[in-house]
């Protein structure tokens, strides 16, 4: 089964210009980031690439945890992308730091939750698309809420 998604973008100006994009539920203003000499209003491809990788990772992890019936009370993912202009603008690395809070009955599955947190990266569609070009790491933190 194939799925199609559509994008529409409009840009005004040069390097200091701005644009508007739409793709399904995404609607945003885009500009060059301030730290790269742009106006820094709205988002940019760097943030969107990081967001796509982190969102895909987070959803994949949530689906894996659910499939194994692991009692997740809260799942939060903090991700950092390192982008470099050396040798042409590119993404060097992405680090995902998921924080998984399990219910009290989750004591016996902490190791499994850690394993799934690492496995989710290789099963994520965006991670697979970036493979060989971007170093992606996962540093999970799994906690159990014992009710105290």
User: In which residue ranges of the chain is CATH 3.30.300.20 found?
Assistant: 45-144
| pLDDT on residue 17 | 93
Q: How far apart are CA 59 and CA 106, in angstroms?
A: 20
Residue 48 pLDDT: 96
For the chain, the first-to-last Cα distance in angstroms comes to 48
CATH number for the domain running over 45-144:
3.30.300.20
78 within 8 A of 55, measured Cβ to Cβ: no
The token duo for 6 is 């559509």
pLDDT value of position 147: 65
pLDDT at 148: 58
SS3 106: helix
pLDDT of residue 36: 86
CB neighbours (10 Å) of residue 31?
Answer: 20
Q: What are phi and psi of 48, to 5 degrees?
A: -70, -35
pLDDT tens track of the chain, all 148 residues? 999 999 999 999 998 899 999 999 999 999 999 988 889 899 999 999 999 999 999 999 999 999 999 999 999 999 999 999 888 889 999 999 999 999 977 678 999 999 999 999 999 999 999 999 999 999 999 999 976 5
CA–CA dist 70, 66 (Å, integer)? 6
Neighbouring C-alpha atoms within 13 Å toward the C-beta of 130? 24
């Amino acid at each position: 089964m194939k799925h199609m998604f559509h994008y529409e973008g409009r840009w005004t100006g040069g390097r200091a210009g701005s644009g508007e994009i739409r793709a399904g539920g995404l609607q945003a203003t885009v500009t060059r980031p301030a730290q790269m000499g742009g106006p820094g209003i709205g988002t940019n491809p760097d943030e969107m690439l990081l967001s796509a990788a982190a969102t895909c990772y987070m959803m994949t992890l949530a689906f894996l945890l659910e499939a194994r019936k692991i009692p997740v009370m809260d799942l939060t993912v903090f991700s950092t992308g390192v982008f470099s202009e050396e040798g042409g603008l590119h993404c060097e690395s992405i680090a995902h730091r998921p924080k998984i809070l399990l219910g009290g009955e989750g004591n016996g599955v902490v190791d499994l939750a850690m394993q799934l947190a690492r496995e989710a990266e290789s099963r994520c569609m965006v991670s697979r698309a970036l493979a060989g070009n971007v170093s992606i790491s996962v540093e999970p933190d799994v906690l159990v809420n014992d009710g105290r």
